[in-house]
Structure formats: structure tokens, C-alpha cells
Amino acid sequence: MQKKLLRIYNELLIRFGPQKWWPADSAYEVVVGAILTQNTNWKNVEKAIANLKKENKLSEQKILEIEKSELETLIRPSGFYKQKAERLKLSTKKWAELKGKHLSTEALREELLSVKGIGKETADSIILYAFELPIFVIDAYTRRFCKEFFNKEFKDYEDYREFFEENLPLDLNLFKEYHALIVEWGKNNKSSK
């Protein structure tokens, strides 16, 4: 299984080139992007992040201090802006509490999952791309990928994650690049379901 996974990884890398994800200027911006990308596309997230940057509000301190109504206005392009403003404040508070702590990946994951509005995919994205710890992120594209290349549909998120983590070397850069390549593959293969 490992050989097939790595062969497909190399084929995707040749086809799409290095993705160098997550597009952000800082680890905290990854957290913001992970919250804002829930239930929307990345182009809308980029608009919301650009608004935050333009108003000089893209920092932990500014997000915690900003009035919720102003934050809602700035992140409006990302959709569900009232809900996301609350989640952004909660996740920022948790980020400030956790950064600099040396927790195991599982302990860090538990902490993130305790925040209202952070589910497994968001928590794992933050762990992989902001905390830079190897954990495999599972999303809709990954599920389609498993069905397409391995004829596998697992029961739940953890089963998918275990499939990748048990069959690939535990390597931060490999996990980042593979996840990004799967997303790129998914965007280019919308018809395969």
C-alpha cells in the first residue's frame, strides 16, 4: 500500500508541481484561514483576509480586541460571518494559549477540538500547517481520492486518517504536499465522484 501511495504522490507531483501549502504569511494567518474556509471556497477567504490586512487587523491581539460587529464586516466575504467572527475569536484565544507549549499532537488536537466550531478537519489543518506537526488532513477531496485510487470508503474521518498515516512515512513535508496535491487533483477532477 505504501508503494502505491508514494507512486501516486509522485505522479501528482509531476502533474501539478509542488503546491507549497498553506498560503499564508504567518502561522496565525493559517489559523484564520482554517476558520474562514469552512463552508466556502478559498477565493472568498482571500477576500476576507485581504480586508483584515488592509485594516491592519490580522494579528492575535487585534482579533481579540476588535468589536465583533467590525470583525463581521471585515470577514463578510467568507460567508457565515456572524458565526465565523465568534469562532475566530474563540480559536484565536486558544491559539494564543497553545502556541509555544510543547504538547503531543494528540493533546494539541484535543485542545483544538474543545473549541466551539473547530472540527477534526480544521483542527488537523491547524496542527499540520500552523503548528507544523505531521497529521494527515482529511477533506472531501481525500475521500474521493481514496474511492478513485483505492476503491475505499471508510466509516469515519479517523479511519481515513489512519489509512494515510499508517501507510506513509511520518513526514511533515510529505503530509503537507500530499494533502495539497489531493486538493489540486480534486479541483481538476470534479466529475469523478
Q: What is the pLDDT of residues 155-179, one digit of tens each?
A: 999 999 999 999 999 999 999 999 9
Q: Tens digit of pLDDT for each residue in 114-155? A: 999 999 999 999 999 999 999 999 999 999 999 999 998 999
The band of 32, judged by pLDDT with boundaries at 50, 70 and 90, is very high
By the 10 Å C-beta count (0-12 exposed, 13-18 middle, 19+ buried), 39 is classed as exposed
How many angstroms separate the CA atoms of 139 and 99, rounded?
Answer: 25
Average pLDDT over residues 181-186: 96
pLDDT at 10 over 50: yes
Tell me what pLDDT residue 193 has. 42
Amino acid symbol at 85: A
CB atoms within 10 A of CB 68: 12
Domains (range + CATH), the chain: 2-21+138-188 (no CATH), 27-129 (1.10.340.30)
The fraction of the chain above a pLDDT of 90, given in percent, is 93
pTM for this entry: 0.94
For residue 107, the surrounding DSSP H or E stretch is: helix 105-113
- Whether 191 shows a pLDDT value over 70: the answer reads no
pLDDT at residue 189, as a whole number:
85
DSSP string, 126-185: HHHHTS--------HHHHHHHHHHH----SSHHHHHHHHHHHS---HHHHHHHHHHHHHH
Length in residues, the chain: 193
Express each pLDDT in 59-109 by its tens digit.
999 999 999 999 999 999 999 999 999 999 999 999 999 998 999 999 999
pLDDT for res 30: 97
